[in-house]
Structure 1
Amino acid sequence: MPQTDSNPDRKVALALMAHPDDAEIACAGTLIRLVDSGWSVHIATVTAGDCGAVTGSPDQVARMRMAEATEAAQLIGATYHCLGEPDGRLVYDRSALQKTIDLFRKVAPTLAITMPLSDYHADHEITGQLGRAASFVYAAPNASELPLIDGSTVPHLYYCDGHGGMDRNGKVIEPTTMVDVSDQSDRKTAMLACHKSQREWLRVHNGIDDYLVAMQNHDAVRGRQMGVQSAECFVQHRGHGYPANDVLTELLSPKNADP
């Protein structure tokens, strides 16, 4: 079994999301705080979001959305990756899992954030499954043909908030971890604004006319629960073999606030 490390020396975080803009909506404030605390941050999407547009071929949309995601990541000094699975048709299979394991192998994160196992979008749920599986096995020598980086370990694993703070059945998600992102709100909004293609798509398909405001409003709702202006919420995976200490709270609680 891979080793675990409750207090990793490697400060490498990976946000594994389904689509470009998922990280910017769900956890970018936390990623900004990690970058500002000296962590190396990687943002990855399992798909390129090729179904997320009103017009354009799949290749055209994919290129556009990956460019937007790259721009957003660069705003905070993060690195963007895309696994190239089909948007809206994501399945949990050996090929998708191996791509995910190989990504973890390249990055060797000690902290991973992925999507909730119950959410309105099946791509989100499958991404969460891929993140859970890859995070546990990637450090096993035989899990990938890629070289094993020194310090590879089972990372702290967190699931980000569901859309509207709800699971797929409309039940409110009860977070284990809340991160104050009030001071990061403007930078988070700037990251999400890089995804210019999404405003018209979401207006037509989801009935959301201004998703920048929708993101800010949700962060404000979660913030009120924490007693701050804006917050992001997570559920920590504490299954056997995973670090059980809440490293996000330890790193980013008010007493350990960023300088």
Structure 2
Amino acid sequence: MADTAPDPIRKVVLAFMAHPDDAEIACGGTLARLSQLGWEIHIATATAGDCGTATLSPEEISAIRIRESVKAAELIGATYHCLHEPDGRLVCDRTALQKSIDLFREVAPSVVITMPMSDYHSDHEVTGQLGRAASFVYATPNASDRPLLPGSMVPYLYYCDGHGGVDRLGDPIEPTTRIDISKQFELKSRMLACHESQRSWLRQHNGIDEYLIAMREYSSRRGQESGFDFGEVFVQHRGHAHPAYDILTELLPRSNPRLQSRKSATA
């Protein structure tokens, strides 16, 4: 496993998620920072979120959620993809895996952010399995009939945070990587607000705008643990063949704005 970053690498990141809005919640600020550095950003979901409604048909809500995902991705110049697997019934079988590999082959990411393989939602866990498997094999010539792009590689692989910072059994997740998104937080909020179908449903169901409030509170909690206002955290996959060098921390260093503000106030 390499402990230094190869130079050059394709500046392409793929956020491989389970449902529309997962990327915005889990890594929207990090994707925004990478976009601002000139990286090509792709956001993919295994499902279109066809169970995310109490009133619409699967086809109706899927079409709405895909439009919302495209709109959110466009805010950071990203491209959205959907594998159209069934929401709530996602499994790691040969069909879903081949769809995942084919997508990776088309994008050829050098950095992948996927979902934790231990989380409250089985779709999240299966997406993490698919993301890990596709990451490992997509660059091998025989894995797909799609063209193999120059620079295809076993990518840097990261798992995003579990819901509430815990795994499926409620045990705390210890991040390897903490990213300061303080300057990108308002953009992250705008991205999440694009998912109006989910925001409206939760507003109606709970009586408050919990969708954005919960994201703000959790981003603040993870940020303050690390010494900045808002943050996103990840666990890097450092198993055999995957690069072990923490490229996200190098590309997106901590700025500690709250610490800088205190120093300015006392200067």
By the TM > 0.5 criterion, same fold? Answer: yes
The corresponding residue for 2:244 is 244
Alpha-carbon shift at residue 54 of structure 1 (Å) = 1.7
1:185 maps to amino acid: F
Q: Which residue of the partner structure matches residue 215 of structure 1?
A: 215
What is the CA distance between 1:9 and its match in structure 2? 2.0
Within-5 A mapping of 1:152-231: 152-202=152-202, 209-231=209-231
> What's 2:122 paired with?
122
Q: What's the counterpart of residue 6 of structure 1?
A: 5
Structure 2 CA distance, aligned partners of 1:92 and 1:207? 36
Corresponding residue of 2:261: none
Does residue 1:88 correspond to 2:99, yes or no? no
Q: Counterparts of 2:205 and 2:96 in 1: how far apart (Å)?
A: 27
Q: Which segments of structure 1 move beyond 6 Å, counting only runs of 4 or more?
A: 204-208
TM-fit CA distance, 1:206: 8.4
Structure 1 residue ranges without an equivalent (≥5): none
Inter-partner Cα distance in structure 2 for 1:128 and 1:82: 15
Instruction: Answer yes or no: is the 8 Å Cα contact 2:3–2:244 preserved in 1.
Output: no
TM-aligned CA distance change 1:207 to 1:167, over 3 Å: farther
Residues 1:110 and 2:110 aligned together: yes
Whether contact under 8 Å (2:112, 2:156) holds in the other structure is: yes
Question: CA contact under 8 A between 1:73 and 1:191: conserved in structure 2?
Answer: yes
* Deviation, structure 1 residue 210: 1.6
Contact 1:4 1:241 (C-alpha < 8 Å) held by counterparts: no
Aligned-pair identity (%): 65
- Distance in 2, matches of 1:112 and 1:51, equals 26
CA pair 207-85 structure 1, distance change in 2 beyond 3 A: farther
- In structure 2, the CA distance between the partners of 1:5 and 1:15, relative to structure 1 (3 Å rule), is farther
Match of 1:97 in 2: 97
Question: Tell me, what secondary structure is at the counterpart of 1:197?
Answer: helix
The gaps in structure 2 that reach 5 residues or longer are 258-267
Paired residue total: 254
SS at match of 2:53: coil
Is contact 1:4-1:154 (8 Å) kept? no
1:236/1:85 Cα in 2 relative to 1: closer, same or farther (>3 Å)?
A: same
TM-score by length of 1: 0.94
Give me the whole-angstrom Cα distance separating, in 1, the residues matched to 2:167 and 2:35: 29
* Superimposed CA distance per residue, residues 56-98 of structure 1 (whole angstroms, 9 cap, x where no aligned partner): 1100000000000000000110000000000000011000000
Matches for 1:16-27 after TM superposition, within 5 Å: 16-27=16-27
Corresponding residue for residue 134 of structure 2: 134
Alpha-carbon distance in structure 1 between the residues aligned to 2:51 and 2:252? 36
Contact 1:104 1:138 in 2 (8 A): yes
Q: Is the 8 A contact 1:17 1:44 kept in 2?
A: yes
Equivalent-residue separation in structure 1 for 2:152 and 2:171 (angstroms): 36
Measure how far apart 1:145 and its partner are: 0.5
Q: In structure 2, how many angstroms separate the alpha carbons of the residues matched to 1:93 and 1:75?
A: 33
With the length of structure 2 as denominator, give the TM-score of the two structures. Answer: 0.91
Contact 1:4 1:242 in 2 (8 A): no
For the residue of structure 1 that corresponds to 2:196, the secondary structure is coil
1:45 is matched with 45
Question: Which deviations, in whole Å up to 9, do the C-alpha atoms of 1:183-222 show, x marking residues without a partner?
Answer: 0000000000000000243457789852111001001000
